[in-house]
Amino acid sequence: MNKDDSKIQNIVILALVNEFMSDNETKKAVIELKDRVSNLIKDSRIDKDTLFTKNTECAKLTSNIKDELAKKYKSTSVVTEKEELNFIFYSPTLNTCTYTTDYSYNYSNYSSSKNQYYTKDSHRIYDVSSNKQLGDYPSYYYEYPYLTKEEASIATKNGDRDYKKFVLENSGYNAKLLKDVNQ
């Protein structure tokens, strides 16, 4: 990484933090989360070197997770489901490796009697050791039949906020993980 890339990353992180801090309620929640995570890290005596080492160990699991996700869904002519690894990190609060995915579900039925199409995208979070899903946060709806447009908009806004909150709270407040998340 050269100096220009580092400057760009810092600007992106600064913009992300600025966006978080623009809303008083979100600002209060982020500061509370930061304090809680800082206290947890201090209490668990995890220093930056240990956190780096644990993150490195978690990163070694990336190819296995990608392979498992590739096998997870079978698409049909009507339904397409896919899930791709977004990133993996060590969670000091959960004391485990945690990974996030981008999940997409597309339904299209262009039979002679129906012309339907809808999409639902979300961010999912999993515990590596148990493979248990820890969260499913909607990030996009298109023509989704089970929600009004207003409900879909509220759900994606809340999903985006809750996803970022979970990642920050459980990663030791590592905002760099969210640098590539759509704003």
Chain segment 62-93, per-residue pLDDT in tens: 999 999 998 888 878 778 889 999 999 999 88
How many angstroms separate the CA atoms of 164 and 173, rounded? 10
Which of the four pLDDT bands, split at 50, 70 and 90, describes residue 147? confident
- The position carrying tokens 């809340």 is 158
d(CA 133, CA 26): 25
Share of the chain above pLDDT 90, in %: 33
The mean pLDDT value of the chain amounts to: 82
Question: What is the reported pLDDT for 17?
Answer: 74
**H/E element holding 28?**
helix 24-44
Q: Is the pLDDT of residue 110 over 90?
A: no
Contacting residues for 5 by C-beta, under 8 A, at least 6 apart = none
SS3 content of the chain, % helix, strand, coil (to 5): 50, 25, 25
Determine if the pTM surpasses 0.75.
no
